[in-house]
Structure formats: C-alpha cells, structure tokens
Structure 1
Amino acid sequence: MRVNKLTFAALAVTATLSLTACQSGDGGKGPSDPSSASTAPSPGGGSPSWSADQGGGKASGGKSSAGPGTPGQGTAAGTGSGANGKAAKCRTDELEITAMDNTIDGDPDGTVAVQLKNRGSRDCTLSGFAGVDLKTNAGSLSAKRSGEQAGAAVLKPGKSVAFGINYPINTSGGSGVRVTGLLVTPPDETKSVTLDWPGAATLPVTEGPGSPVKVGPIGSAGQGD
C-alpha cells in the first residue's frame, strides 16, 4: 500500500511539473507580442504614434505650401484683384465718365474724346472697346469699332484713360441728323451712362448700310492722366 501511494505521488508531481512547463512557455509568448507591437515606432504615422496635441491635420496644415501665408493663395481677398494678382475689371459704378470735343482744325472728321476715371479705392483694368451709341432725332446710331489695335490699361485710384469717337462733319448744307445724346458702356459691362453730346450738332445724312461713326479702343485718345 505504501508503494502505491509513493507511485501515485510521483506521477502527480511529474504531471504538475509538465503542466507548469507548458503554461510557462505559452504564457511567456502570449503577453510579449502585444507589448512589443505597442511600443515599436509606427513608420506610417498610425494612431498609436499621435497624441491629442499632435493631430495629423494640425501638423500638415502648419507646413502646407499652400497655406494662408503663401503668396497668391488667399492674399488677394478684399483687394479687388483677380487670379494671379491681376487687377479686376473696372465696373461702371467705379468710373467717372466724361466726354469732350477733341476735334482738331483741318481734320476731315470730328472727334469726341471720352474719358474714364477710376473713382474707386482699388486698381482696376479697362481693355478693348467701349460700347458707344449716339441718340439722334432719327433713332439710335451705334458706332462701329475702328481697325486700331485694342490694348489694356490698369487704372490706379484717381487715374484715367480715354478713347476717341470719330464722326463725319455735316458739310452738306442741309439740316442733317441731329444728335441729342451719347450712351457709353464700359468694356465688359452691361450698365451704361448717358452723357451730353459735345461734338457737332448734326451728322450728314448718309446712304447705304453701316454706321459713319467709329469708336477707337481704350487708350486711343490722349486725354488720360
């Protein structure tokens, strides 16, 4: 009986040692793996590597080449400038528009110079041709564009530029067509202004299609400053 008890005791001890060895081996590997992963540096900038004060959006925004301090990116807001730092178009309400007789003695045609002055607080651009219509007792007469090269002008506040209107002088001896007013529409605008006509009182009656009145491009008259 004593021999049997010793045998069972020996078997129990052996089984216990074997079970302890197995648990020790598996347990050593189990907790070590997640511990190693959580402390390793993350090359891709994963969530374990960022703290609450190091958010990805904040870091990239502060270093972005297109941030608020970059030239050409948001710096033109409120200045009236357009894309690439260019001055925006002059609007009709920003311009003081006047007309004056500019006919030179001896010229076969009469000339009226129309001046456009920037009365706003920002630089603006005028380019191409303005729209010109003469009001007459026979109806409205639209001026056609001359063959001159169309240019552009950047007007600083208080500065002006002018263009010319050429018309035939009435030498027929007849009453002709009476001019009662001048309608000017700045380039790229739809709003017009009505002015008194400072030129000759009448135009000759012409036969055939087309308008005898011609308008030059912006800068074609020497009245700007």
Structure 2
Amino acid sequence: MRAHHLTLTALAIVAGLSLTACQNGDDGTGQSAPSSPAGAASSGGSSSGASDQGGGTGGAGKGSTGSAGSTGSTGSTGSTGSTGKGSGSTTGSGGSAKAGRCHTDALQITAKDDTISGDPDGTVVVELKNHSGQACTISGYAGVDLKTNSGTVSAKRTGQQATQAVLKSGQSIDFPINYPLNTTGGSGVRITGLLVTPPNETKTVALAWPGAASLPVTDGSGEPVKVGPVGSAGQGG
C-alpha cells in the first residue's frame, strides 16, 4: 500500500511540473505579443510627423529633430503653430476691421483760401489729414468759429447730407467755409482767426485765417458764414 501511495504522489508531482511548464510558455507568448502594437504606435508617431510636414514647414522641422514619440507631440505643436498663423492673419486684417473715430490729436488741420474770382462769396477750405499711423473714420460737420474784432461768429451748417469716410494714415479730407465778402468799401468786421473743432470732438484747433480780411457789417439779416460737411470740398490722399 505504501508503494502504491508513493507512485500516486510521484505522478502528481510530474503532472504539476507539466502544468507549470505550460503556464510559463503562455506567459512568454503574452510578453512578446505587445511588440507588434508598440511598433504600430511608433509608426503612428511617424505618420503624425508626416502630416505636420504637410501642414507647415515649422512643424516639419521640429518633427525631424525628435524621436518617434516626441514627433507625435511636436506634430501637435505644429498644429498649434497653424492656429498662431490664423491669429496673425487676424492682426493683418485689422485694416479691414471697423476703424475708430478720428480724434483731434490724430489730425493735422490746415486752412487755405479757395475763393474763385467772380463768386459772390469767399471760400476757405479746411483740410483734415490723418497722421495717427492707423485708419480712422470721420463723418459730419466740424465746428467752425471766426474770431473777429467784434466777437466770435459761428458758422451755420449748409444742411448737406454727411457721409462717412475712412482715412488711412496720410490721407486727408476737406470741407468748405463760405462767407460773405465785404464789398461795402468800409473796414467791416475784421477777422482775426479761425477755430476748428473736428466732427464729434470737443478739442478745438486755432488757425490763422487765410481768407479776406473782413466781413461786411450786418444787422443779422445778411448772408451768414456757412460750413459744409467733411468731404463736400473733395478728398485728397
């Protein structure tokens, strides 16, 4: 009986060893299996790098520097670089965006006599030139006052419809001032200066008066000094 028991025990040990060997063989197979997906992942990284090369030169340069794993990461950076380029185009398209109002400090304001011989009225043209370095919009009537030895004379609007203009840096726009000529033979009301306030602004610029020396003396029933909207005397560049 003892011999039979020992035989059974030996068989059990042999069977256990065989089972262990089989299990070890399965583990080995399991360890070698991931090598194929790892190779695929490496291939994927390289493919991502190639896509970045197509998308932009910056992405391609960075992808060629790193390893397969870092190439995939750099590819993502290359995509971000493309977004940055879009942001750059937004900055570039700033010129087409709505420009802000032309402020007094952004305008170089000058005045010149533009009276045509034979006209019943005198004409002074005021030029507003944008020197701000960026585009701005302007529309409406400027405030115009003539300084005289008898006080200030404010110009009346002509009533013409005003249109909006966009002035690029360096461009200018004009408006006219029409005033009655003194043909009475007397000294009249002597004009000593011109005050101009650009449309929708509160800051005023004082200029020398370039027109005739005086206005006719009037009791208020004569022709007033008139101002047209910006753009009604022509636009220059």
TM class by smaller structure: 0.5 to 0.7
Q: 1:90 aligns with which of 97, 102, 117?
A: 102
Matched, 1:187 2:199: yes
Provide the alpha-carbon RMSD of the alignment. 2.4
Instruction: Identify the residue that residue 120 of structure 2 maps to in structure 1.
Output: 108
Instruction: Identify the residue that residue 198 of structure 1 maps to in structure 2.
Output: 210
Q: Quick check: 2:148–2:192 contact (8 Å CA) kept in 1?
A: yes
TM-score scaled to structure 2, two decimals?
A: 0.59
CA 1:144–1:178: 2 relative to 1, 3 Å: same
Compare relative contact order (CA 8 Å, sep 6+) and give the higher one, 1 or 2.
1
Query: Unaligned stretches of 5+ in structure 2?
Result: 1-83
Instruction: Identify the residue that residue 175 of structure 2 maps to in structure 1.
Output: 163
Paired with 1:211 and 1:193, the residues of 2 have a C-alpha distance of 25
- DSSP-derived class of the 1:140 partner: strand
Identity of aligned residues (%): 66
Q: Which has the higher helix share?
A: 2
2:159 aligned partner, one-letter code: G
Q: Quick check: 2:139–2:230 contact (8 Å CA) kept in 1?
A: yes
Q: Quick check: 2:180–2:223 contact (8 Å CA) kept in 1?
A: no
1:34-79 superposed Cα distances (whole Å, 9 cap, x missing partner): xxxxxxxxxxxxxxxxxxxxxxxxxxxxxxxxxx9999xxx67xx6
Count of residues paired in the alignment? 151
Query: C-alpha displacement at 1:206, in angstroms?
Result: 1.2
1:183 aligned partner, one-letter code: L
Instruction: Identify the residue that residue 54 of structure 1 maps to in structure 2.
Output: none
Q: Quick check: 1:144–1:211 contact (8 Å CA) kept in 2?
A: no
